[in-house]
Structure 1
Amino acid sequence: MRENIHNGDRLELTVDALAFGGRGVARAEGFVFFVEGALPGQRVEAQITSVKKRFAEAETVRLLESGPHDVKPFCPHYGKCGGCDLQDMDQAGQLLWKRRFVSDSLSRLGGEETPEVLETVPSPDSLHFRNKMEFAFSGGGSERNLSLGLHKRGSDESIVNVEACGLQSPLAMDIVIRAREFCRDSGVPSWNPRTRKGLWRFLVVREGRATGQVMVHLITSAGPGAAVARALGAQLMEALPAVTTFVHSERRAPSAIAFGERVVATLGPGVIEDEVLGIRYRISPDSFFQTNTGAAERLYAKARDYAALSGEQTVWDLYCGSGGLSLVMAQAAGRVVGFETVESAVEDARANAKLNGIGNCEFVAGDVRDMIASRGERPDVVITDPPRKGMHEDVVQAIAKAAPKRIVYVSCNPATLSRDVALLSQSYRLVEACPVDMFPHSAHVECVALLELK
Structure 2
Amino acid sequence: MDCSYFDAGVCRSCTLMGVPYAEQLAGKDRHARELLAPYGDASWLPPVASAESGYRNKAKMVVSGTVDAPTIGILDEAGRGVDLRACGICAPGVRAALPVLADFVTRARIEPYSVPERRGELKYVLVTHSPDDELLVRFVVRSEEAVGRIRSRLPELLAALPNARVVTANLQPEHKAVVEGDREIVLTPESSLVMRVGGIPLRLRPQSFFQTNTAVAEALYAQVASWVDEVGPASVWDLYCGVGGFALNVAAPGRRVVGVETSTEAVRSARATASAAGLPLVAFRAGDATAFALAAKSAPELVIVNPPRRGIGAELSGWLEGSGVPSVVYSSCNPKSLAHDLARMPSYRIRTGRVLDMFPQTGHLEVAVLLDRVGA
- Give the TM-score taking structure 2 as reference length: 0.91
- Letter in structure 2 aligned against 1:394: E
Q: CA RMSD in A?
A: 2.3
CA contact (8 A) 2:239 2:289 kept: yes
Q: Secondary structure of the equivalent of 1:263? A: strand
Q: SS of the counterpart of 2:344?
A: helix
- Aligned twin of 2:300: 379
Q: Is the 8 A contact 1:83 1:151 kept in 2?
A: no
Asked whether the 8 Å contact 2:70–2:105 carries over to 1, the reply is yes
1:238 aligns with 2:150: no
The 3 A distance-change label for structure 1 pair 337 and 187 is closer
Q: Which residue of 2 aligns with 1:146?
A: 70
Count residues with an aligned counterpart.
372
Shift, 1:231, TM fit = 4.6
**What is the aligned counterpart of 1:136 among 54, 62, 85?**
62
Residues 151 and 265 of structure 1: is their aligned pair in 2 closer, same or farther, counting only changes over 3 Å? same
Decide whether the 8 Å contact of 2:321 with 2:344 is kept in 1.
no
Q: Write the distance in 1 (CA, Å) between the matches of 2:5 and 2:327.
A: 45
Q: Provide closer, same or farther for how the CA distance between residues 328 and 169 of structure 1 changes in structure 2, counting only shifts above 3 A.
A: same
Which residue matches 2:32?
102
The 5 A counterparts of 1:167-246 are 167-184=89-106, 187-193=109-115, 195-209=117-131, 211-231=132-152, 233-246=154-167
**For 1:357, which of 272, 275, 278 is the aligned residue?**
278
Residue identity matched to 2:322: K
Name the CA distance, whole Å, in 2 between partners of 1:333 and 1:75: 50
Q: What do residues 305-364 of structure 1 show as CA deviations (whole Å, max 9, x unaligned)?
A: 222357651001111112111111113661011122222222222112112211111212
Alignment partner of 1:74 is 2:9: no
User: Structure 1 counterpart of 2:58, which letter?
Assistant: K
1:434 is aligned to 354
1:346 to 2:346 alignment:
no
Distance 1:258 1:331 in 2: 38
Instruction: Indicate the SS of the match to 1:225.
Output: helix
SS of the residue corresponding to residue 247 of structure 2 reads: helix
- The CA distance in 2 between the partners of 1:299 and 1:156, in whole Å, is 39
The answer (yes or no) to whether the contact 1:199–1:225 under 8 Å persists in 2 is yes
Deviations 1:374-431 (A, max 9, x none): 2111211110001000012111111122221111000000100111111112x11122
Answer whether contact 1:389 1:416 (CA < 8 A) is retained. yes
Match of 2:360, as an amino acid? P
Q: Distance in 2 between matches of 1:199 and 1:98?
A: 40
1:31-110 → structure 2 map (5 Å cutoff): 73-78=1-6, 79-107=9-37
**Greater helix share, structure number:** 2
Change (3 A) 1:423 1:448: same
Question: Which of 243, 246, 258 matches 1:325?
Answer: 246
| Pair 253,433 (structure 1): closer, same or farther in 2 beyond 3 Å | farther
- Per the alignment, residue 37 of structure 1 pairs with none
Give the Cα separation in 2 of the matches to 1:175 and 1:356. 31
Aligned-residue offset at 1:83? 4.0
Q: 1:188: Cα distance to partner?
A: 4.1
CA contact (8 A) 1:309 1:333 kept: no
Contact 1:149 1:160 in 2 (8 A): yes
Structure 1 residue runs without a partner (length 5+): 1-72
1:53-100 deviation line (CA, Å, top 9, x unaligned): xxxxxxxxxxxxxxxxxxxx4221124224422220122111101112
Q: Is 1:404 the equivalent of 2:325?
A: yes
Spell out, residue by residue over 1:194-226, the C-alpha distance to the aligned partner (whole angstroms, 9 max, x if none).
5543101111111111x2221211111124222
8 Å Cα contact 1:316-1:381 kept in structure 2: yes
**SS of residue in 1 equivalent to 2:274:** helix
Q: Which residue identity does 1:437 align to in structure 2?
A: D
Contact preservation (8 Å) 1:134, 1:202 = yes
Structure 2 SS opposite 1:215: strand
Structure 1 residues 191, 151: closer, same or farther in 2, change over 3 A? closer
Closer/same/farther in 2, CA of residues 235 and 137 from structure 1, 3 Å limit: same
Offset of 1:175 from its aligned partner?
Answer: 1.8
**2:316 aligned with 1:395, yes or no?**
yes
Inter-partner Cα distance in structure 1 for 2:53 and 2:113: 32
Where relative contact order (Cα < 8 A, 6+ residues apart) is larger, the structure is 2
Q: Aligned with 1:431: secondary structure? A: strand
1:428 maps to amino acid: Y
Query: Which 10-residue stretch deviates more, 414-423 or 190-199?
Result: 190-199
Identify the match of residue 87 of structure 2 among 165, 183, 186.
165
Distance 2:96 2:74 in 1: 15
Cα distance in 2 for partners of 1:398, 1:176 equals: 45
Give the C-alpha shift of residue 261 in structure 1.
Answer: 2.2
Structure 2 counterpart of 1:280: 201
Identity of aligned residues (%): 30
Shift of 1:453: 0.7
Match of 1:204, as an amino acid? L
Q: Which moved more, 1:358-367 or 1:383-392?
A: 358-367
Match of 1:443 in 2: 363
